[in-house]
Structure 1
């Protein structure tokens, strides 16, 4: 789904096209807007960036961290999908672009997990989609299956043939990529957390401590750790 950027004297606006359909399309748009809002948090170094959000979709029925944080800044059932930010903030320097870096980290993590023995295998396709979907802030079996054009049961069968489950594979991808990011980059912990699909830094820190027995800072410093 391509996006466009427009700028005038007052605002810079990131906008996504309106697509026909319901259900999954709405969920995908909520995830994209949520991811973009988190990027503004990182760039502006604040949990409450001065953004305004418009969505050509109804308000979700289920609560979420995103709705709780930005509820008053979101207008639903509008004529576009967009995030606007004051123009004077557009000159703020972006943090290190992570697109190529993410690919390198992801490839390294997959090699360790033995997922690139055949790049075109169903298992590698599923793993790649999980990793990409994590970056959007929402990763579940239904979304990954939809993105792959497969049924949920078909995805589960692929994973069962490899002796794993959706939850276990997602956890392993997060765990291995987290170690790579912490050891190989200087990205802020909060940005790594968001790239791996964690909504809060504290949740990411607890996960790292569960996986390795030490907090993220110790992994970055190269300290001793246990592996669970």
Structure 2
């Protein structure tokens, strides 16, 4: 069985909403990403696969800079709602017995649409606390955090009849903007910043009220489908881990290609690319991760010459290895060895 990989990802359908909104602003997403990255894949693939969460977050920050709008994510949420995401989960929430069950369902199946860390619902003192923290490698995701929190608030505010469900309190881990007026407009007057965890607080009695849209049969069917997708996710992670194992076994070859790995697995290169994309991975990224992890380990734990390590991770020239090390570690292999540091997100070989 393959080793689990870093699954820090988000459902690619969010790109459709971003592309549509940028069209309204006169900005073509394809042209923008061609200049600034990342590679998003063809639009026809956005409904089925996953993309890197870090790269998506970085894209939103770049767009905000280009638009000179530090509140781009929040403003986008006001003008365009949840136009992307995982549809099965959205339907399950819509037909849940109560808003509280909808929230618990969202937390239970959150990984189908987005990877978060320590996502939970807690009932305490007549209140419902929805807490979440993004994965540790994600730093200062202002635009994404604003939009995510705003979409959660709007979903519960508008989806469960009257009276509307407004949050009692919203705490965000981000630093406060220069002007908090728009945040107060979206989240209410009790919004705070620099919190240890992101938290949205609701009144328990309102969250336990019946959902006028409730449909037990539809809800049960959607939950069953979500459970199947979770099982499929585990199988997909095993597949990506298997690909990684094959790359690791042949990493010393400077000619290791997608086609060679596909042949080893017993499928065409095109099918392998598609299967990896569906799990939020690309072959070249996996190859690069394996090389980085092995090189880091050999530099830290062995006295092998840099030229030998370069050969072992598939570089035919030390100069190419040195350039790769600068990209991986921010320094040369020798400097990295002397520093004795461990890279963020280092993978074990």
TM-score using structure 2 length: 0.29
The normalised TM-score by structure 1 is 0.44
| Structure with the greater alpha carbon radius of gyration | 2
